[in-house]
Structure 1
Amino acid sequence: MGNVPKISVIMSTYNEETKELSSAIDSILQQSYTDFEFIIIIDNPNNKNLLSTVEKYAEMDNRIHIISNKKNMGLAASLNIGLQEANGELIARMDADDISAKDRFERQIAHFLNHPSTDILSTNCFYIDEDGKLIGKKSEIPTTKEAIEKILPIGSSIIHPSVMGKKVAFLKMKGYRKLETAEDYDLWLRMLSAGIIIRSLPDYLLYYRIRKNSMTKSNVYRQIMTDIFIREDYKKRIKDKSDVFSEKKYKKFITNNKQKQKFNYYYERFTLGVEKIQKNKFSLTGYGDVLSSLLMNKLVRYMFKMLLSYKVMVKKACGE
């Protein structure tokens, strides 16, 4: 392969704290598997701290290649730029506020050597808080091609910043689409309908940062509507054997202020009910809030149904 690296690591940074960004970069540079290039896209040209931090690392390690967007382009567009610039046979994703285990690449490379049919490979993860403190871990995830194919249309167990995959698989799909959220979920379902093989390692090889107040009511509504759109798009693709995605149609689908206001009201009532039940499992008002929200709002009902179905299917796949 000459000087061509085996892996191209792609990471976009926008507004991360310097400490978080440094931890993410360090975790990649200190990997036990060293044959990679590290492409870092600066998606906030006005944030001089980001550029300064990355430039200092680039001076110390020539595996780092910096791309600075002239304006904020969003995650999907930034990752697509990284894909086009990548020289590696494999693409490794990383987020600028997470931490990779030191042997992450080594274990993923070993899987590709033993299972050459794999196109995309995710791992499991620990959860850390904003201070980097370990606060838990994700439960077992489906790992086989068959289980993931069955479960993915219901919900995703693929942890985006832990993914390593063949570059040809990403390029076959023409990279990420411009969505307001869940760009990765859309990509995995497009890959699934194209026959691309996705597997996961059960190993906990990523420390995924959880932020307080990361999901506002507005974000939850946007997430649910985007998920519905992505799943419906997937079903149409399977049925019609063609892709008719339209960014205009997507924007229209998720824009309904009256529906959004109604959902926000019942979603807040639902979450308050759950909190009451967690504090007191005999809370009648808690159960009343949950049940009335499920009965009165189709989106809350949809959210609950899909989450329950996903959990049941994952438990079954994992033999629990």
Structure 2
Amino acid sequence: MIIDIVMPIGHWSRHLTSALESIHNQPRNFRLAIMDASHDPRVKADIASVGLKPDIYRDGKDNGQADAIAKAWLSMDGDVVTWLNADDMLLPNVLRNVENLFLSDPETDVFYANSSISDDNGMIIGLHPEVQPHSDILLRSNIISQPSCFVRRTAMESVGGLNPELEFTMDWDLWVRLHNAGKSIKFVNEIWSNVTWEPATKTASFSRQRYREIFALIRRNSSFYVSAKSIFGFMQHHKSTYKDARISLSTPINKLVNFSILNLTATQQKSIELHFDNIDAAVKCNISGAEVEISEKSIRANFDRAIEPGESVQISVCADQKSSAKLMSTNWQK
């Protein structure tokens, strides 16, 4: 099974090297197309520094991100498709796990998981606040994190692929059409990617064009009243989420949650701290020999070896069903 990955690059990002390395370090069950519209020589320099050799590299102006991705997919023939932005990252071995899921469950068309969220300084500040198991809620809220979503090519092609006319909702629009077509969509309670949220990202912006695209998407499946109400709720949520991302990008922990957290720093680290608004949970770590310390508002795991830059660790947090604990942030310590 081959997974086709497209990386659209509209402008150079200082996170690009990390994004490229996260692909380069995956098992070689993928093909990569880089669609570079940046006209920035640093992009080619970063590709060369990582040692990554894309199967397709196109340098030049395009008609937008969706158009670039759609054209790249047309030039490829892998079994599964996805895309990764230049400031996001795949976690280690994700592509192998995704391949195994599709091979073991041939009736499923889409698999998606959660994403950790980091700020522009590489600090993990929580989990994606919208992600949840697949349901009709998708018709009024984008509950799928794009870099953690993988789609069978046959399913993508059967609903017409990405709409190149869209700028802000091209991913959500595709998920909704897959949903309405009755495709099998399954959520996996794992973390498959890391997303960088900063004011300049499209996710963090709320322009008039984004408002129009969101309203049009919801309106296709709901009444005018429901659509208007959803847009108002979206605006209020968006405002509170980005007012202070370090506080509001939190996920209630009321069951077993597996955190796969990358060392996004440039140096080796010996411990990690998870900060909560309150603690009534037990924690286990999959690193042999790790010692766990639990205090009123934090969990600290001390490892018996250094965690290398780019390496990930998994921490399982298990809380009582009535727990109201929320993960607020995580940080590495030497």
- Common fold, TM-score beyond 0.5? yes
Say whether 1:26 aligns with 2:21. yes
Please tell me whether residue 134 in structure 1 is matched to residue 128 in structure 2: no
The AA in structure 1 aligned to 2:176 is: L
Residue 6 of structure 1 is matched in structure 2 by 2
User: 1:65-95: CA deviations, max 9, x gaps?
Assistant: 2332531321110110111112211113211
Q: What is the Cα deviation at residue 140 of structure 1?
A: 7.9
Native 8 Å contact 1:39 1:67 kept in 2? yes
8 A Cα contact 1:124 1:138, kept in partner: yes
1:235 to partner: Cα distance:
5.2
What residue number does 1:252 align with?
A: none
Instruction: Decide whether the 8 Å contact of 2:199 with 2:205 is kept in 1.
Output: no
Deviation at 1:202, TM superposition (A): 1.2
Distance 1:197 1:27 in 2: 28
Q: Which residue of 1 aligns with 2:44?
A: 51
Q: CA deviation at 1:181?
A: 1.2
User: Tell me, which stretches of 5 or more residues in structure 2 are unaligned?
Assistant: 238-250, 256-320, 323-334
Runs of 4+ aligned residues of structure 1 deviating over 6 Å after TM superposition are: 215-218, 305-308
| Residue pair 1:140, 1:202 contacting (<8 A) in 2 also | no
Q: Does 1:304 align with 2:233?
A: yes
1:218 positional shift:
7.5
Cα distance change, pair 16–300 in 1 and its aligned pair in 2 (3 A): farther
Match for residue 227 of structure 1?
214
| Alignment partner of 2:107 out of 112, 117, 130 | 117
Q: Do residues 170 (structure 1) and 170 (structure 2) align? A: no
Q: Sort the Cα spacing of 1:82 and 1:216 in 2 relative to 1 into closer, same or farther, 3 A.
A: closer
Question: Once the two structures are superposed, what CA deviation does each residue of 1:239-277 show, in whole Å capped at 9, x if it has no partner?
Answer: xxxxxxxxxxxxxxxxxxxxxxxxxxxxxxxxxxxxxxx
Contact 2:113 2:145 in 1 (8 A): yes
Verify the 8 A CA contact 1:98 1:206 in the aligned structure 2. Answer: yes
Q: 2:147 matched to which residue of 1?
A: 161
> Offset at 1:27?
0.4
CA contact (8 A) 1:101 1:207 kept: yes
Counterparts in 2 of 1:106 and 1:218: CA distance versus 1, 3 Å: closer
Q: 1:69 to 1:80 in 2, by over 3 A?
A: farther
CA-CA distance at 1:213 after TM superposition: 5.4
Cα distance in 2 for residues equivalent to 1:99 and 1:71:
24
Following superposition, the deviation at residue 149 of structure 1 comes to: 3.5
Q: Determine the structure 2 residue equivalent to 1:15.
A: 11
Q: Output one character per residue of 1:22-48: Cα deviation in whole Å (capped at 9) or x when no partner.
A: 1001001101x322111111123x222
Of 106, 116, 124, which aligns to 2:96?
106
TM-superposition CA deviations, 1:180-231 (whole Å, max 9, x none): 3111111111111222222221101111101035479982443332111012
1: distance between equivalents of 2:77 and 2:66?
19
CA offsets, 1:2-24, max 9 Å, x none?
Answer: xxx6111111111132x311100
**2:215–2:228 contact (8 Å) kept in structure 1:** no
- Cα distance in 2 between the residues matched to 1:218 and 1:307: 13
Contact 2:128 2:145 in 1 (8 A): no
Count the aligned residue pairs. Answer: 239
Mapped contact 1:224–1:303 kept (Cα < 8 A):
no
Contact in 2 for aligned 1:54/1:66 (Cα 8 Å) = no
* Counterpart secondary structure, 1:219: coil
Residues 131-140 or 88-97, more deviating: 131-140
Q: What residue is the counterpart of 1:186 in the other structure? A: 173
- Cα 1:305–1:137 change in 2 (3 A) is closer
* CA-based RMSD: 3.2
Q: Judge conservation of contact 2:78–2:153 (CA < 8 Å) in 1.
A: yes
Work out the CA distance in 2 between the residues paired with 1:132 and 1:232.
37
Shift of 1:150: 1.6
CA distance, structure 1, for counterparts of residue 234 and residue 66 of structure 2: 29
TM-score computed with the length of structure 2 as normaliser? 0.63
Equivalent residues of 1:193, 1:234 under 8 A apart: no
Which runs of no fewer than 5 residues in structure 1 stay unpaired? 237-297, 309-313
Match of 2:186 in 1: 199
Structure number with higher strand proportion: 2
State how 1:239-254 maps to structure 2 within 5 Å.
Answer: none
Q: Which amino acid aligns with 1:159?
A: S
Separation (CA, whole Å) in 2 of partners of 1:300 and 1:167: 35
